[in-house]
Structure 1
Amino acid sequence: MLNQKSISERVFDVSNTALMIIIALGTLYPLLYVLFASFSSPMEVMQNRGLFLYPKDFTLEAYRLVFHNPNIKTAYINTMFYVVVGTVFNIFMTSLGAYALSRRNLMWKNAVMFMIVFTMFFEGGLIPVYILIDNLGMINTRWALIIPTAVSAFNLIIMRTSFQTVPVSLEESARIDGANDWTILFRIILPLSLPVVAVMVLFYGVFHWNSWFSALIYLQSRDLYPMQLILREILITNDTENMLTGVSSGDKMPIGETVKYATIIISTIPILFLYPFLQRYFVKGVMIGAIKE
């Protein structure tokens, strides 16, 4: 048989498959551990010294305490605002920059690209950036987490490369019909670049969802805190007191552990649901420009 594999090829396939399964399980189990622990009895979590293969003494008490915490609700709303508004603003600004830099007749295009790439290796530092944001009046405002991160140099380069693959003849035909740059960008270039746009949505969305350092530096009001900053307080500073109102002092330490796990799950699940919808675009979008025909 022409398609019959040799013994060495079969051994390689089996070994490769087994290795991938082990890596997948090693990657998945920490999440499953947190998930099972969040649904388990606090005392079972404290006494457990081995693997968690299922919830022990199933309970929803940790989730009840988390959802009754007003800081979590406020932080969730803030995070959704930062993710949605921030991502839309990122895509808009990155598209404008990528479109301009992908034009063949743009003056000093190489010099502009050099300055953009330069920022990937060198930056002004935290203090100058803080002074700049303070002088712009954005300290303790939502815009301090959105405007300074409007464009990522890496994402701009990826989107620019994608725009360059669109045939020039389409642009020329549109200009003959009277289309301007705005029409060409939003009605021709972007619809033909949906894979890379989906990847940019994923990259920027995950960035905003996981961002906490900028909020720690620029925000002073807890009413503006994102979810990840609240999660940091719970995990690092062990601040679960405001969630354990009404819990006896002897039970606070055990149930505080399951509250941490429940908070991790709540802050992780939404972004995990985003991946399946964008997965089919991911590989194609990331590989844009890697292979030239």
Structure 2
Amino acid sequence: MEQLGQLGVVGMAGVFMAGLGGLLALMLALANRKLFVYEDPRIEEVDGLLPKSNCGACGLAGCRDFAEKLVLGEVVAARCTVSSPAQIAAVAHYLGVEAGAVDKRVARLACAGGRHVAFLRAKYVGLSTCRAAAVVSGGGKECGWGCLGLGDCATVCLQGAITLDAHGLPVVDQEKCTACNDCVTACPKGLFALALVKDKLWVACKSRAEGDLAEAACEVACTACGKCVADAPPGLLTVRDNLVEIDIARIGEGKRAFIDRCATGAIVWYDDKGEPQRGAAAKKILRHDDLPLKAGV
């Protein structure tokens, strides 16, 4: 009898648990029905047509987010600058919309101080990355704002758009660059920024050192002489903290003539091939060898 009683208790417990499980399953089913959010099946298809790089070049969180915006008609397919023309056309064809067009953006470097024109005050020896070098007294370059030339930007560029020239200065291939922003994030000196290809005017310097001190550290540094400011429309260029700055909202007003009187070539004009051109008054750079460590520093 005692055993039968125990079996009865176990049976009741089993029935209770089964009932509880059924009740919870019913509640979950009702909640699923109540909270269900419809997702357009086209999102999955469009996401599959995208490059899956999740680079953020489109300005959104990733390819999935971009696919959702595409299906809603809030962005155009051409905004994915990583996609090939064929991929963009395929997305547009699937959705039955125009591919659209966007102004191409590229990464640009605010430094022209390669090893042949910029002095070192110490030789850095250690982990061969800009981020590591920057931790050790700024990396050893006389100009504390200058490019360290160890190529963190080139390493993170999945498109292979950045290479280092013979003087350790990053060069951006305008055709390969997708404006993914990786180099902007990777540079410990904050020397990279994204710019529209159509906006040609650019200040290739970040030094805040005063005039002669800036040029003594780097022969192509901005000395804040103000000649370009005088030649440009009022407000387009200004000098702040010993450096010329461009009003981004008005950069479309830039003209090549504004760089002509810059003696160091710190303010440049990008040609159609994406190569920076210096003004007529800029001193010629004839040295090809690296500068030695600066004496007395």
TM-score range, shorter chain: under 0.3
Q: Of Structure 1 and Structure 2, which has the larger fraction of its residues in helix?
A: 1
TM-score using structure 1 length:
0.19
Q: Of Structure 1 and Structure 2, which has the larger fraction of its residues in strand?
A: 2
**Larger Rg: 1 or 2?**
2
TM-score using structure 2 length:
0.19
